C-alpha cells in the first residue's frame, strides 16, 4: 500500500480523454477588467455533460509578455469537435470579452494543429466599418465600439488536448476536505502552466458516473462516493471514517501538464489533517483512452 504523509493513495487511475482546445489571451488597461472579461468568458463551462463547453482561467500574463504591452489573462476553452469549439470561442469572445471595457483578444495557443477563423467572424459586428490590420506581427481586426475599438486576432490556433484528469479527496469531514481541496487548487494554480480547473473554484462536490441506475440520463450522481449512501448501497467505496469527498478535475494542453498538476495537487492535499485517502474517478477504461495511474505519478 502506498502512503504519502500517512494518507493512503489508492492503486487506481484517472480516466481522461481528448478534446479540442483553444487558448485566448485577454488584455486590458487594468487587471480587474482583464479578469472580469476572462471570468465571464469562462462561465457556465464546468463539464461538457451539461455545459455548452468546458473552460477556465489558466493564469495571469505580465505586460512584457503581451502583444499590446498591457496586463493579460490566459483562458482555455474545450469542446469535442472543432466546429463546436469555434462556435463557443466566437460566442464567448464576442459576448464576454468585446463587451468588457478596454479589452482585446489574441491567440495564445502554442504548437497549434489547426486555426479557426474566430476573429474573422466577430468582425462582422463592425457592420462594414471594421478594418483589417497587422499589429505586433499578428493579423487583427479593429472593430468600432462605443468606447473606441475592439482588437481581436483574425484566427485562433487550436489543438487536441487532455480533459478529465482528476483525483478524489476522501476526508473525515467537510472542513478538512474543503481545506485540502483548496490547498490542492492553490498548489496547481501556482506551480503548473497550461492547465485549467473548470469547476467553480476548481473544486467539484458532485462527481458523476456515466448513465443512471433509474433514469434516462447521460450522467448521474457518483453514488459510490456519496458518504450518506454508504449504508444504503452495497457497492459503496466510502470508508467508515470518511464523511466528505471532493473531486479535483484538470484539463490541460498536454498529458504531461495534467499529470504534473495531479501530482502537485495530491501532494498539497495530503498535508491537511483529516484527509484519509486519495483516489480517482474512472469508468474502467470504457470512456476515455487515457489512464493516469496515481502510483506512477507519486
Q: Does 122 have pLDDT greater than 90?
A: yes
Q: What is the mean pLDDT of residues 145-157?
A: 98
Cα R_g (the chain), whole angstroms: 21
Q: What is the CATH number of domain 19-159?
A: 3.30.70.520
Q: Where are the domains of the chain?
A: 2-15+163-297, 19-159
**Cα distance between residue 194 and residue 41, in whole Å:** 18
pLDDT category at 66 given cuts 50, 70, 90 is very high
pTM: 0.96
Model confidence at 287, pLDDT cuts 50, 70, 90, reads: confident
Q: What is the mean pLDDT of residues 72-81?
A: 98
pLDDT digits over 39-62, tens only? 999 999 999 999 999 999 999 999
Q: Classify 75 as helix, strand or coil.
A: strand
pLDDT at 285 over 80: no
pLDDT given at position 113:
98
The CATH classification of domain 2-15+163-297, taken from the options 3.40.109.10, 3.40.50.300, 3.30.70.520, 3.20.130.10: 3.30.70.520
Residue 286 binned pLDDT confidence (cut-offs 50, 70, 90): confident
What is the grid cell recorded at 47? Answer: 463539464
In this prediction, residues 224-250 reach a mean pLDDT of 96
Give residue 229's pLDDT. 96
Count of other CB atoms within 10 angstroms of residue 198: 25
- Yes or no: say if 41 and 96 are a contact pair by the CB < 8 Å rule: yes
Amino acid at each position: 500500500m502506498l502512503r504519502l504523509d500517512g494518507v493512503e493513495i489508492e492503486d487506481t487511475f484517472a480516466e481522461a480523454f481528448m478534446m479540442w482546445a483553444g487558448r485566448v489571451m485577454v488584455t486590458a488597461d487594468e487587471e480587474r477588467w482583464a479578469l472580469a472579461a476572462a471570468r465571464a468568458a469562462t462561465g457556465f463551462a464546468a463539464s461538457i455533460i451539461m455545459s455548452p463547453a468546458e473552460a477556465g482561467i489558466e493564469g495571469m500574463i505580465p505586460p512584457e509578455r503581451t502583444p499590446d504591452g498591457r496586463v493579460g489573462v490566459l483562458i482555455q476553452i474545450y469542446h469535442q469537435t472543432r466546429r463546436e469549439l469555434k462556435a463557443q470561442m466566437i460566442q464567448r469572445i464576442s459576448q464576454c470579452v468585446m463587451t468588457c471595457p478596454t479589452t482585446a483578444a489574441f491567440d495564445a495557443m502554442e504548437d497549434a494543429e489547426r486555426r479557426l477563423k474566430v476573429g474573422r467572424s466577430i468582425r462582422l459586428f463592425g457592420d462594414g466599418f471594421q478594418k483589417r490590420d497587422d499589429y505586433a506581427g499578428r493579423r487583427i481586426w479593429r472593430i468600432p465600439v462605443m468606447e473606441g475599438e475592439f482588437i481581436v486576432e483574425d484566427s485562433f490556433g487550436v489543438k487536441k488536448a487532455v480533459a478529465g484528469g482528476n483525483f478524489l479527496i476522501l476526508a473525515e469531514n467537510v472542513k478538512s476536505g474543503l481545506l485540502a481541496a483548496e490547498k490542492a487548487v492553490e498548489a496547481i494554480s501556482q506551480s503548473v502552466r497550461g492547465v485549467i480547473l473548470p469547476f467553480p473554484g476548481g473544486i467539484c462536490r458532485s462527481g458523476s458516473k456515466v448513465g443512471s441506475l433509474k433514469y434516462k440520463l447521460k450522467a448521474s450522481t457518483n453514488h459510490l462516493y456519496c458518504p450518506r449512501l454508504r449504508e444504503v448501497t452495497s457497492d459503496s467505496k466510502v470508508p467508515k471514517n470518511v464523511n466528505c469527498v471532493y473531486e479535483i478535475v484538470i484539463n490541460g494542453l498536454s498529458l504531461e501538464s495534467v499529470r504534473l498538476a495531479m501530482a502537485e495537487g495530491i501532494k498539497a492535499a495530503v498535508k491537511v489533517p483529516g484527509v484519509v485517502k486519495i483516489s480517482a474517478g474512472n469508468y474502467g477504461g470504457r470512456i476515455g483512452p487515457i489512464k493516469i495511474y496515481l502510483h506512477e505519478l507519486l
